[in-house]
Amino acid sequence: PAVSGVNQDGATVNFADVYAKGPTVVFFYPKADTPGCTKQACSLRDAFAELSKEGVQVLGVSFDKPDSQKAFKDKFTLPYDLIADPEGKVVAAFKVDKMMKGIIPLATRQCFLIKGGKVVWHDAKASTDQQAADIKRVLSELK
């Protein structure tokens, strides 16, 4: 989806501009700096150099606010933007299911690969520590 959101620094990120740079991984996670979300984000961090060689961009999205996203990014040295989506506009644009923790909405863990402006792969039950391996496998199959 051609949507925009605010990154961890409060800057607007237009997803279409990111897609134009090459294949784009957009992953959704429930909450910054929680065990499963950290494994998922760090899996992509650890494979970032390899993915970048393939021209792949990475964006992480959750309902967290920019300051929480910034703290998460800084704590784990994540080399990609984290999109703060407290109103759920990006979550809705991607039709990602929500779950509730009390009155707090959380995105379900999902991952998308966008190539040529189209979703070419969607993992509705995205992995945590194997997220990067799943993406690398899909990228090799698409060649």
pLDDT in tens, 63-119: 999 999 999 999 999 999 999 999 999 999 999 999 888 888 999 999 999 999 899
- Choose the catalytic residue: 37, 58, 78, 111: 37
For 63, half-sphere exposure in the C-beta direction (CA atoms, 13 angstrom radius) is: 18
The torsion of the CA quartet 31, 33, 34, 40, rounded to 10 degrees, works out to 80
Q: Of 121, 143, 117, nearest to 134 (Cα)?
A: 121
Tokens representing residue 2 in the block: 């051609």
Answer yes or no: is pLDDT of 143 > 80: no
Tokens representing residue 84 in the block: 């703060």
Helix (H) or strand (E) holding 59: strand 57-62
pLDDT, position 73: 98
Tokens representing residue 123 in the block: 């993992």
pLDDT, position 127: 86
Active-site residue 37, yes or no?
yes
- What's the chain's average pLDDT? 95
Q: Model-level pTM greater than 0.75?
A: yes
Report the percent of the chain where pLDDT is more than 70: 100
